[in-house]
Chains A and B, each alone.
Chain A
């Protein structure tokens, strides 16, 4: 019986021990579980935080950084904000987000170019048609100008022609900016004609003073004529637009070492440093042009110049201020775009200012051209009248470039040789009129001696050539009828 309680106690003890052990294990397990739960919770919190930060970062990217990055190419002053948390920048997430931005910008730039190219193509087509139409209109207007000479009609035709020239210029410039050809093939022309032609395309052409210091016969090769006219027109337009209406815009045409320079000076406000830098960048034509960058309304002048300078190997400089206070724009035409036109065979247009170089000076320089040393360049001495050596020194490099000089008419020489003979021949009718007047006066005087009436004989003073009074016309008619050698002479001089 005793053994039973022992057994029971033993069993109880074992049971207690195991219960204790189990209880301990249970406790430990519970504690571990709690710890793990806390750990889990902490991890979850952390994860949620990271997720939140990630979401916030992406939201920030979408809301702030992407728009800024998209706007940046068009507006360089826009700064793209950085990531929300500075520590993201160095993390892989930061790099990934930067790549998103870069990819978008690349794609956007490509898109921009594509859209701009499409817009340019559309505009090119439209302006081409307009330009062709305006040329046809110009032909019609000029035909009418030749046909009718009623002053009122002519006045209207002149106005219409001028309006047409302006429209033509706008259409042409728009086409050129959009990468089109200038739209008109011209033949070799005098450079001064191209400049004057450009001048005629502007509203304020009255204010332009062209000083032509070129040797006569300085021409442009055919493909450079229209570009030079367009560039000069645009430079002049800027000059006229940015200077007071009562000031002149001065254009000088001069020879330089490697060609010819057309200098446009205005007395306006000038440009700020930024404007000048931008203008210089545009006229250099080194960057492709986007219509969207030209502003609204688009300012196409400089962009068109840029296109033309690149295509035709011309160079334009607008970086220096003018001594008149405004802007000095210099177009340089290199020798390979110049040619020589015989001014006797094809004189420049009547409205083109003639060269300031006199015939005698040109001849002197032509004579001394042979022995002129090509090493000396007397640039400053161009206007010295007696410095033929210096002038030829100045001319020598240009002559080496293949520009012989010829004069249209040697007026000075002609005047020196046979002025008296020519003048008497030309004056004959007036002399005859004067002689007849004297005869009439004499007759009247004789009559007045007879009847003491002076009359109006004193009006016919000998030597006074008043060709268009009725009396004189009558006398001339008689003279023409009587004086045969005079009519012969008339036939000779009237060509």
Chain B
């Protein structure tokens, strides 16, 4: 699946996005999680977007994972994903923070707040 295994790739990356490199929404990060919306793909979708949608068929993927699967640079996948999100075919979520990073103080304050609500 690596780029070099098949030798020089025949199809350059810019073809996947039609030469566009600026995603329509800037917030997609490398670890943003993409999830298919489950709606059937409309006709006339560009091949690369269809391929991405296909890859998301089996579950959620981060942008980097999708890029590796499609053998495209991350930047190209971000453009593709942004276009699909614009068409409501894919949902994106901010990167899942690693477990254990929740601030105990914050959780404590939330719990206190909930308790305070309950007692009101």
* Chain A residues close to B by CB (< 8 Å): 135, 138-139, 142, 145-146, 148-152, 154-155, 157-159, 161-162, 165, 184-187, 189, 193-194, 196-197, 199-200, 205-206, 225, 229, 346, 349-354, 409, 411, 414, 422-423, 425-427, 429-430, 443, 465, 467-468, 473, 476-478, 480-481, 490, 492-495
Contacts and interface: CB of A to CB of B under 8 A. Distances in A.
Nearest to A156: B21
Contacts of B89: none
Interface in B90-120: 91-94, 96, 102, 107, 110, 117
A423 B38 contact: yes
Contact of B21 (A157, A409, A422): A157
Contacts of B65: 495
B59 A206 contact: no
A494 B71 contact: no
A414 B20 CA distance: 33
A202 to B, nearest CB: 11
B22 A467 contact: no
Given A151-B75, A495-B60, 16 more contacts: A145-B13, A146-B3, A154-B73, A155-B20, A158-B21, A159-B19, A194-B10, A196-B15, A197-B12, A350-B52, A422-B59, A426-B59, A478-B110, A490-B96, A493-B60, A494-B60
A186 B13 contact: no
A462 B11 CA distance: 45
Which of B15, B38, B76: most chain A CB closer than 10 A? B15
Given A135-B8, A161-B14, A426-B59, A350 B47 contact: yes
Contacts of B50: 354
Contacts of A467: 91-93
A187 B61 CA distance: 29
A411 B57 contact: yes
Chain A's interface: helix, strand, loop or mixed, by majority? helix
Contacts of B51: 350-351, 354
A194 to B, nearest CB: 6
Nearest to A472: B93
A146 B93 CA distance: 23
Given A196-B15, A430-B91, A476-B93, A149 B75 contact: yes
A495 B48 contact: no
Interface residues of B, number: 57
A229 B12 CA distance: 13
Nearest to B74: A149
Interface in B16-73: 16-23, 26-27, 30, 33, 35-36, 38, 46-48, 50-52, 54, 57-62, 65, 70-73
B73 A350 contact: no
Given A200-B15, A430-B91, A494-B59, A349 B71 contact: yes
A206 B18 CA distance: 7
Contacts of A193: 10-11
A492 to B, nearest CB: 7
Contacts of B117: 443
B11 A200 contact: yes
A205 to B, nearest CB: 7
A118 B5 CA distance: 39
- Enumerate the 10 nearest inter-chain pairs by beta-carbon distance, A residue then B residue, closest first: A197-B10, A493-B59, A154-B21, A155-B21, A158-B14, A349-B11, A154-B75, A149-B75, A350-B51, A350-B70
Nearest to A196: B11
Given A349-B71, A494-B61, A494-B62, A186 B30 contact: no
B30 A149 contact: yes
A196 B93 CA distance: 32
Which of A145, A194, A492: most chain B CB closer than 10 A? A145
5 contacts: A225-B10, A349-B11, A426-B36, A426-B60, A467-B93
Given A196-B10, A200-B12, A493-B59, A152 B38 contact: no
A152 B57 CA distance: 30
B8 A184 contact: yes
Nearest to A408: B54
Nearest to B94: A473
Given A351-B47, A495-B61, A161 B8 contact: no
B8 to A, nearest CB: 7
Contacts of A473: 94
Given A429-B93, A467-B92, A492-B59, A151 B23 contact: yes
